[in-house]
Amino acid sequence: MSRIVLRNLVKSYPGGDRRATDEISLEVADGEFVVLVGPSGCGKTTLLRMVAGLETPDSGSVHIGDTDVTSLSARDRRVSMVFQSYAIFPHMKVRQNIGFGLMMRKVPRPEIDRRVADAAAMLDLSDYLDRFPSQLSGGQRQRVAVARAIVVDAGVLLMDEPLSNLDALLRLQFRAELKRIVHQIGTTTLYVTHDQAEAMSLGDRVAVMRDGRVAQIGGPLEVYDSPADRFVGSFLGAPPMNFFPALVSDGPALSVGALSIPAPSSLARFAGRTVLVGVRAEKLAVSTDAADGFLPATVEVVEPTGASVLLTVRLGDHELKVQAPPTFDTRPEASVWLRADPSTMRFYDPETSLALTV
């Protein structure tokens, strides 16, 4: 019913020297949860505002359901939205804020009360219903904005960084809560964040944006495991994906400096060329002893994180992040040996940074 189809959306702001969104096409299936993630200024909010009807695209179209809503005003699109700046109404109590959408849609009073109470309970706001926003903390205000958005039954839910102002613990808690709520109401959702962990955990699909374009869209594991380009690999995941250049030699094998490591056989057709190898920190096996097919590296930083030890090591001229088991015993300046399973390695064109199909 309420799928979203965006076609070639272009938007540039007056005075902006480049496009805020550049020919973005995107489809969100009915009931699907798609997360837009990307660095600051990449056009996430702009895209969301065009779907909401708050911004008119220079060209391209927005469809919600089977209707072309490109020229429809915001109130006629039946969308709901959490603003990045909350945009809750300071002169109304929390109760009126949450119930605003229902009141405007002329929902009967008892039903408004019931639904407001439900939404407030979901977001831990029941004790604050009779307060003014100025008497709430930043995180509480943000939750009011979320409650106001989920309480109406809109076909499409747009959320612009709705958890950004919560502390780490609350954010984790509400992330799960939000996932449950949205799943429950089953609304088609576009969700913006610049927190890659949030993106991975919430999205049915994740769209990674950069400079007004969608760099890659796919399931969370797909974009995490097989980034379409170097940017996606370094943006998603903490720590970011490791990249280092290697020469493909006959065999096929990869020459890193003077050393050689096995490569997937499909790489044979790139023989003689230099490729960029991408490998995730947790996919690098690390050992204190030399062994065949292992590359020697020097430990630079050791960061225990509890569940694992994060090592920064130097391999030739390149710094790599390695996730070692928590019991792994090493110290700076020590030598370690690394090995990557050929199947976990991804390969990129050093010039274009795009993934090579191997």
Partner 1 sequence: MRRFALQVFCVAISLFMAAPIYLITLAAFSSRESLNEFPLPLVPTDPSTETLSGFLSSTGVIAGGVNSLMVGLNTVVLALLIGLPAGYAVARYAFRGRQPYQLFLLLTRALPIVVLSVPLARIFLTTGLYDTTYAVTLLHTALALPTTVLITAAVFVAVSPEQEEAAQIFGASPVQAFVRIVMPQALPGIAAAAVFTFVMSWNEVLGAAILTLNQRTLPAQVLSTLSFSPLAYRFAGGFALVVPALLFIAIMRKYLLNMWGTTLK
Sites of contact with Mg ion (CB under 5 A): 45, 84
Q: Is residue 88 part of the contact set for partner 1 (CB under 8 A)?
A: yes
Q: Is residue 90 part of the contact set for partner 1 (CB under 8 A)?
A: yes
Using alpha carbons, select from 177, 231, 99 the residue that is nearest to residue 162.
177
What is the three-class DSSP state of 283? Answer: helix
Q: Which does 13 bind (CB under 5 to 8 A by kind): ligand ATP, partner 1, Mg ion, none?
A: ligand ATP
CB of 172 to Mg ion, least distance (A): 22
Structure tokens at 91: 């002169």
Q: Which residue has the tokens 């969100």?
A: 28
What one-character-per-residue DSSP string does 164-222 give?
A: TTS-HHHHHHHHHHHHHHHHHHT-EEEEEES-HHHHHHH-SEEEEEETTEEEEEE-HHH
CB of 132 to partner 1, least distance (A): 5
CB of 147 to partner 1, least distance (A): 12
Q: Which does 43 bind (CB under 5 to 8 A by kind): Mg ion, ligand ATP, partner 1, none?
A: ligand ATP
CB of 84 to partner 1, least distance (A): 8
Where are the extended beta strands (E) located within 201-325?
205-210, 213-218, 242-249, 253-256, 259-262, 274-279, 284-287, 295-304, 309-315, 318-324
CB of 159 to partner 1, least distance (A): 12
Q: Is residue 337 part of the contact set for partner 1 (CB under 8 A)?
A: no
Determine the interface stretch with partner 1 among 47-55, 197-205, 299-307, 350-358 (rule: CB under 8 A): 47-55
Using alpha carbons, select from 96, 94, 81 the residue that is nearest to residue 160.
81
CA distances from 342 to 194, 266, 295 (A): 31, 10, 13
Structure tokens at 140: 């509480």
Which of residues 45 and 70 has its CB atom nearest to ligand ATP in the complex? 45
Determine the interface stretch with partner 1 among 72-80, 118-126, 284-292, 345-353 (rule: CB under 8 A): 72-80
Q: Which does 75 bind (CB under 5 to 8 A by kind): ligand ATP, partner 1, Mg ion, none?
A: partner 1
The terminus-to-terminus CA distance of the chain in angstroms comes to 39
CB of 200 to ligand ATP, least distance (A): 17
Binding site for ligand ATP (CB under 6 A): 13, 15-16, 20, 38, 40-46, 84, 194
CB-CB neighbours of 14 under 10 Å: 4
Please answer whether residues 27 and 213 qualify as being in contact, where contact means their C-beta atoms are separated by less than 8 angstroms.
no
Which of residues 84 and 196 has its CB atom nearest to Mg ion in the complex? 84
Determine the interface stretch with partner 1 among 80-88, 243-251, 263-271, 315-323 (rule: CB under 8 A): 80-88
CB of 125 to partner 1, least distance (A): 17
Q: Which does 52 bind (CB under 5 to 8 A by kind): Mg ion, ligand ATP, partner 1, none?
A: partner 1
Determine the interface stretch with partner 1 among 46-54, 163-171, 215-223, 285-293 (rule: CB under 8 A): 46-54
Which of residues 212 and 218 has its CB atom nearest to ligand ATP in the complex? 212
Q: What are the two backbone dihedrals, phi and then psi, of residue 76, each rounded to the nearest 5 degrees? A: -90, 0
Which of residues 38 and 342 has its CB atom nearest to ligand ATP in the complex? 38
CB of 205 to ligand ATP, least distance (A): 18
> Cis bond leading into 304, ω under 30°?
no
| Burial state string for 297-335 with b = 16 or more CB within 10 A and e = fewer than 16 | bebeebeeeeebbbbbbebbeeebbbbbeeebebeeeee
Which of residues 20 and 152 has its CB atom nearest to ligand ATP in the complex? 20
Q: Is residue 270 part of the contact set for partner 1 (CB under 8 A)?
A: no
Please answer whether residues 21 and 47 qualify as being in contact, where contact means their C-beta atoms are separated by less than 8 angstroms.
yes
121 CB-contact burial (10 Å; exposed 0-12 / middle 13-18 / buried 19+): exposed
- Measured between alpha carbons, how far is 232 from 226 in angstroms, rounded to an integer? 9
Q: Which does 46 bind (CB under 5 to 8 A by kind): Mg ion, partner 1, ligand ATP, none?
A: ligand ATP
Residues that bind partner 1 (CB under 8 A): 14, 52-54, 73-75, 79-81, 83, 85, 87-91, 100-101, 104-105, 132, 134-135, 148, 152
